[in-house]
Amino acid sequence: MSITFDQLVDELQGRPSEELEEIAVLVRHYAIEQRRTEMLENAQQARKDWENGKLKAYDNVEKLMRSIEEA
């Protein structure tokens, strides 16, 4: 069963503070895990791009900044 964000908020209203605190901890944990997964996927894609020659290395910050501005 899927519920909307508004339904979820409505469901949380009136819950005991202990439950709300536990839910907050769980949501924070889920968000951290999701971000870790995103970071891993980004790193894996960057490695593939590097191996396929899609990324460039720069020997100084000025060259890097110029390439960013040109993109």
Alpha-carbon torsion angle 59, 61, 62, 64, nearest 10: 80
| Beta carbons of 20 and 12 less than 8 angstroms apart | yes
For residue 64, the tally of other CB atoms under 10 A from its CB is 13
pLDDT in tens, 4-55: 999 999 999 999 999 999 999 999 999 999 999 999 999 999 999 999 999 8
**Residue 44: per-residue pLDDT:** 98
> What's the distance, CA 16 to chain centroid?
30
**Residue 57: per-residue pLDDT:** 86
**Residue 30: per-residue pLDDT:** 98
Backbone angles phi, psi at 16, to 5 degrees: -60, 150
What is the span of the domain harbouring residue 25? 5-70
Structural domains counted in the chain: 1
**Residue 71: per-residue pLDDT:** 75
